[in-house]
Amino acid sequence: MTNPFLSVHPEVEAALAEGRPVVALESTIIAHGMPYPQNVETAFRLEGAVREAGAVPATIAVIGGRLKAGLDAAEIEKFGAGGKTVRKISRRDLPIVAGLGLDGATTVASTMIIAGMAGIRFFGTGGIGGVHRGAAQTMDISADLQELAHTDVAVVTAGAKSILDLPLTLEYLETLGVPVIGYGTTEFPAFYTRDSGLPVDYRAETPEEIARILHAKWGMGLSGGAVIANPIPESHAIPRREIDPLIEQAVMEAEQQNIRGKALTPFLLARMETLTQGRSLISNIELALNNVRLAAWIAVVWEELRN
């Protein structure tokens, strides 16, 4: 059955039809996660890294109401230049932008949805959303977690920033039945730092192992995604004693200014960038490159297992 709202880029469509590996990339990281023009440059570098690792990149966004799997250079430039003026869209927003012919930058959740519709199983990004600190009062839990429970896409991430409540985020993923696999690590990474003191479900040493786990999951009919937790390269990690006080400050400012809902994560990300004087941006770019490469390596082996 064809999906009348979906537009798959011809190169991506050909790769999928021929059983070649494809890796999805998100557009919220471009529009809301980084400043212009580094965001556009990064988007192109991420696509290049996926190609070098042997897969076809599909950057995902909604343009004029079309759910796009695979953007051309002009479209990426438009999202990057638009920055925060581009609507940030999650699952609940998809019918609004598709129905009314609007543009939207896709989060982890909505990128997974569109990837899933196109038949793409692997997605590399920076950080995922999770359970926010104070969620017991605010109930602010990212829709990314529910999506991981339901949609058959594995997400390679450097963990989650400790702007979130990491222990509760992992509890929530356990409840939803989402495997959390560490790549060369027994600890869930905390984005800027390689460790968090919190355990992953399994430490995988190779992309092959991860591909076998996913092949088994989907092969036995267990729907839903997985979190592939890939620590930031050592050379770009920021020591915890430096980053933790800044995170505390950003979270406190958000509370004082009563920032909530979908504005909260972009606010915290922007504050972190300012408070680290741009250092967090470089870390962010390097860990994203590291993640999309791993996503491509896993996708390559998974296609071999499947064929």
Which residue ranges make up the site for ligand PSU (CB under 6 A)? 26, 28-29, 33, 90, 107-108, 126-127, 129, 142-144, 161, 191, 262, 265, 269
Task: Please report how close the Cβ of residue 33 comes to ligand PSU at its closest, in angstroms.
Answer: 3
- Find, among 107, 77, 71, 103, the residue nearest to 92 by Cα: 107
The smaller minimum CB distance to Mn ion, of residues 13 and 140, is found at 140
Q: Is 140 in the site for Mn ion (CB under 5 A)?
A: yes
User: If contact means CB under 5 to 8 A according to the sort of partner, which of Mn ion, ligand PSU, none does residue 269 touch?
Assistant: ligand PSU
Which amino acid, residue 44? Answer: F
Query: Catalytic pick from 161, 187, 273, 303?
Result: 161
Does an H or E element contain 49, and which?
helix 38-52
**Three-class SS of 246-280:** HHHHHHHHHHHCCCCHHHHHHHHHHHHHHHCCCHH
**Rounded least distance, CB 303 to ligand PSU, Å:** 26
Q: Which is nearer to ligand PSU, 11 or 255 (CB)?
A: 255
* Half-sphere exposure of residue 34: CA atoms within 13 angstroms, side-chain side: 26
Residue 26 bears catalytic tag = yes
Stretch that binds Mn ion, among 138-146, 152-160, 194-202, 206-214 (CB under 5 A): 138-146
For residues 66 and 73, what is the distance between their CA atoms, to the nearest angstrom?
Answer: 17
Length of the chain: 307
Contacted entry of Mn ion, ligand PSU, none for residue 93, CB cut-off 5 to 8 Å set by kind: none
**How large is the C-alpha radius of gyration of the chain?**
18
Shortest gap between Cβ of 192 and ligand PSU (angstroms)?
9
Considering 13, 26, 77, 303, which one is annotated as catalytic? 26
Judged by CB under 5 A, how many residues of this single chain contact Mn ion?
1
DSSP symbol at 201: S
Which partner in Mn ion, ligand PSU, none is near 143 (CB below 5 to 8 A by kind)? Answer: ligand PSU
- Report the partner that residue 28 touches, choosing among ligand PSU, Mn ion, none (CB closer than 5 to 8 A by kind): ligand PSU
User: Rule CB under 5 A: is residue 93 a binding residue for Mn ion?
Assistant: no
Nearer residue to Mn ion within complex by CB, 36 or 267? 267
Q: Do 223 and 152 contact (CB within 8 A), yes or no?
A: yes
Cβ neighbour number for residue 1 with a 10 Å cutoff: 3
What is the distance, to the nearest Å, from the Cα of residue 93 to the centroid of all Cα atoms in its chain? 17
Of the two residues 13 and 231, which places its CB atom closer to ligand PSU in the complex? 231
CB of 35 to ligand PSU, least distance (A): 13
Query: DSSP state, 177?
Result: T
Judged by beta carbon, residue 15 or residue 180, the one nearer ligand PSU is 180
One-letter identity of residue 303: E
Do residues 178 and 149 lie in contact, with contact meaning Cβ atoms separated by under 8 Å? yes
Position with the least CB separation from Mn ion: 140
Q: Is 161 a catalytic residue?
A: yes
Query: Cβ closer to Mn ion: 54 or 266?
Result: 266
Q: 185 in helix, strand or coil?
A: coil
Our measurement of the distance from residue 163's CA atom to the centroid of its chain's CA atoms, rounded to an integer in Å, reads 16
Positions touching Mn ion (CB under 5 A) are 140
Residues known to be catalytic: 26, 161
